[in-house]
Structures are given as structure tokens and as C-alpha cells.
Amino acid sequence: MVQKSLGGAVLADESNDGFSTIELLASVTLIGIIAAIALPNWRGTFPNYALNNSTRQIQSELQQIKMRAVAENVGFEMSYQVGSSQYTIFRDSQIVATRPLADGTSITKAGSITFSPRGTAGANRVRLSNSQGKCRQVVVSATGRVRVCTPTNCGSDC
């Protein structure tokens, strides 16, 4: 304990052992207010992250099966259903793999994309959406080019 004096008279005992209860309460309150403001925005990023992750996953998978079709000189196909959270890959009509999408992401347009041994494809698209109503599409052109786009609304193509 430290005693302060002014002209020989002791004014008060002062302790420098740590924070006072008021200081701790003010700090905890401030952290709580900041967390209450930030948490809703932070929680909204998870569905968008899952959607972007699933979109990149399908784009990568399509590019891989295109390369495999050319390398192995055999047709490959990706098949997907509306409302599903998975897709199936076929090699010459034989199931090669069934892969899940990230949680909270689903396919909103059914179809299939087939790559020939020359690497060309039947033009089509995979449309994905998340629980917040955001959409992304993986588009495959007839030449086999795979790209990602964001439609203006979930019912339209881009």
C-alpha cells in the first residue's frame, strides 16, 4: 500500500494491486456491446462462405473430370438433382463418386454435364443457393470452358 501525503498529513491509502470492480464491469459491458453489434453480421457470413466453397468445389471437379476425359479418352458426366446437396460423377456410365456439398447449400437446377474424350461438353450450368437466398452458378460452355457467375436473381441464368 502507498500512502500519499500533502504537507505531512496523510490523505489516503491507495492500492495498485489491479483493476477495480467498476473498471472490470465497464470493460465487460463494452465488450458485450461490441459483440452484440458484430455477431449478427459475422453469423451471416457462414452461409455465404458455404455457398462460395460449394461453387469452387463444383468448378474444380468439372475441370478435373474434363482433364480426365481427355487423358483417359472416355466420357465423364456430372449429374445433379434439384434440392439435393450432393452430385454424382460417372465415368462411361459407371458411378465414380458421389460428393456432398457444404452444409446449407443446395442445387436449384437439375441436369447433367457430360465431357467427351475431346474435352468438349454439352453446354449446361449448375445453380446453387444457400439458406439466405443467395445464388451462384457454374457454367460450362460447349467448348468445355468452366466459369462461375452470380445471377441477378435465383430464378435466372447469368
Q: What is the mean pLDDT of residues 107-132?
A: 91
Does 109 reside within a domain? yes
Does 1 reside within a domain? no
| Cα–Cα separations (whole angstroms), residue 57 to 2, 73, 117 | 65, 24, 22
Q: Specify the pLDDT at position 46.
A: 81
Whether the predicted pLDDT of 1 surpasses 60: no
Please state which of the ranges 64-68, 71-75, 109-113, 137-141 shows the lowest mean pLDDT.
Answer: 109-113
Identity of the residue numbered 18:
G
Residue located via cell numbers 459475422: 42
Does 55 reside within a domain? yes
When the pLDDT of each residue in the chain is averaged and rounded to a whole number, the result is 86
Summarize pLDDT for 11-46 with one digit per residue, the tens: 555 556 777 889 889 999 999 888 888 777 666 678
Does 32 reside within a domain? no
Summarize pLDDT for 41-88 with one digit per residue, the tens: 666 678 888 999 999 999 999 999 999 999 999 999 999 999 899 999
Range of the domain at 93: 45-149
Domain count, the chain: 1
Does 136 reside within a domain? yes
Whether the predicted pLDDT of 121 surpasses 90: yes
| Cα–Cα separations (whole angstroms), residue 93 to 62, 78, 88, 89 | 16, 10, 11, 9
Does 13 reside within a domain? no
Cβ-contact 128, 143 below 8 angstroms = no
Cβ-contact 55, 47 below 8 angstroms = no
Does 24 reside within a domain? no
Strands (E), the chain: 2-6, 9-14, 76-80, 86-91, 94-100, 105-107, 111-115, 124-130, 135-140, 146-149
Does 35 reside within a domain? no
| Number of other residues whose CB lies within 10 A of the CB of residue 95 | 10
Please state which of the ranges 17-21, 128-132, 149-153 shows the lowest mean pLDDT.
Answer: 17-21
> In CATH, what number is assigned to the domain containing residue 74?
3.55.40.10
